[in-house]
Amino acid sequence: MAEVQSYRLFNVQLLHKSHVSPSLLSLVFGGPDVANMKCDSPDQRIKMLFPSEDGSIPSLPEHGQWYSLLQELPKEKRPIVRTYTLRHVDRERQQVTVEFVSHGTEGPASAWAISSQSGDKIQIVAPNADYPADSGGYEWTPPAGLRQGLIIADETAIPAARGILELLSKQQNPPEIQAFFEVPEQGDCVDLSEFCFAKIHWLPRKAVNARHGECLLKAVSECAKLPTAAGITETVNEEAEGELLWDKATTASNAFYGWVAAESSVVKMLRRYLIGECGVSHDAINFMAYWSKGRER
């Protein structure tokens, strides 16, 4: 019998598309197999397979090693793969929601999301509900009884960050959260006042003509209240050229936990500031480069 895989391929088609805000599109996909998809965390990552260079619709076999099968195809026929966040899975209705930043048409994923129409077919590699253990593929693992949390995100990480706030709001005593969200436009600053345990700083950059990440760095350095134990600064090891930053927190302390996801150079600067200058323990904070300016992902 074939081994049950932690992640597997799902065939889906677009059911509907709407705007969460001017820069963020919500796409709802459906497919009978979604009944076997699972989502273990609000920052659950998935791979989305888009039409290949020659326009072929992704049609890898559902069972099997999708990546090896993809590598065997001639380059122009290989589906284009990008990483996204599983925003919502409704197994009963067999629907899955993913939110896309519409950053223009130079990136195939963004271009596809902008031009896609109901009925368009793609494939998604997502956690398999038949897998008996944890499928992994997420970093949000705060300690039980967390008291203070810090969430920093640019627009690509807003879907995961909102999911985190939604999850925390279900707790009887949610932790005190400071959130810094940088987005392109004023209209992207959606109302999150229902999360009364969170102090949310919306930072629309076009309004102040700022470069990507500039508003985040300024606001975090001016407003973030960091744990009182912080103060012992650490040397921050920089990645080798071309490597993307991905540091997972390992802490067991419930005093403080951080989650930072944004463009690569911005995450690096935030890590230098928080760990190298403010002395936040690297054990207590996740740093994740969700994309890299000027580079395909």
Does position 216 bind ligand FAD by CB under 6 A? no
Q: Which of 95, 156, 178, 286 binds ligand FAD (CB under 6 A)?
A: 156
Handedness of CA 287, 159, 139, 256 (dihedral sign): positive
Nearest CA among 101, 50, 41, 80 for reference residue 262: 101
Tell whether residue 161 is a contact of ligand FAD (CB under 6 A): no
Question: Which of 127/159 has CB closer to ligand FAD?
Answer: 159
Question: Within a 13 Å sphere around the CA of 4, how many CA atoms are in the beta-carbon half?
Answer: 10
Residue the block writes with tokens 């990440």: 213
User: Which is nearer to ligand FAD, 38 or 103 (by Cβ)?
Assistant: 103
x-or-dash pattern for ligand FAD, window 176-215, by CB under 6 A? ----------------------------------------
**Binding flags for ligand FAD, 67-96, as an x/- string (CB under 6 A):** ---------------xxxx-----------
Closest among 63, 56, 67 to 122, alpha carbons compared:
56
Residue 227: CB minimum distance to ligand FAD, A? 26
Binding residue for ligand FAD, selected from 17, 38, 77, 103, defined by CB under 6 A: 103
If one asks whether residue 162 binds ligand FAD (CB under 6 A), the answer comes out as no
**Residues in CB range of 134: below 8 A, 6 or more apart:** 40
CA atoms within 13 A on the CB side of 242: 0
State in angstroms the smallest separation of the CB of 225 from ligand FAD: 27
**Sole binder of ligand FAD in the list 142, 159, 227, 258 (CB under 6 A):** 159
Exposure string over 93-120, b if 16+ CB within 10 A, otherwise e: ebbbbbbbbbbeeebbbbebbeebeeeb
Judged by beta carbon, residue 188 or residue 227, the one nearer ligand FAD is 188
287 binds ligand FAD (CB under 6 A): no
The pair of three-digit structure tokens given for residue 190, joined into one six-digit string: 């959606």
Residues in the chain: 297
Out of 27, 28, 37, 109, which residue is the one contacting ligand FAD (CB under 6 A)? 109
Q: Interaction with ligand FAD in 33-52: which residues (CB under 6 A)?
A: 45
**Count of residues binding ligand FAD (CB under 6 A)?**
24
The residue nearest ligand FAD at its CB is 107
Beta strands 95-101 and 88-90 are antiparallel
Nearer to ligand FAD, 131 or 246 (CB): 246
Q: Residue 19: in which H helix or E strand, if any?
A: strand 7-21
Q: How far is CA 140 from CA 36, 167, 168, in A?
A: 22, 11, 11
- The least CB distance from residue 214 to ligand FAD, in Å, is 14
Side chain identity at residue 278, one-letter code? C
Q: How far is Cα 92 from Cα 64, in angstroms, rounded to an integer? A: 25
Q: Using CB under 6 A, which residues numbered 243 to 282 contact ligand FAD?
A: none
223 by DSSP, 3-state: which?
Answer: helix
Query: Which residues sit at the interface with ligand FAD, rule CB under 6 A?
Result: 45, 82-85, 99-101, 103, 106-110, 156, 159, 290-297
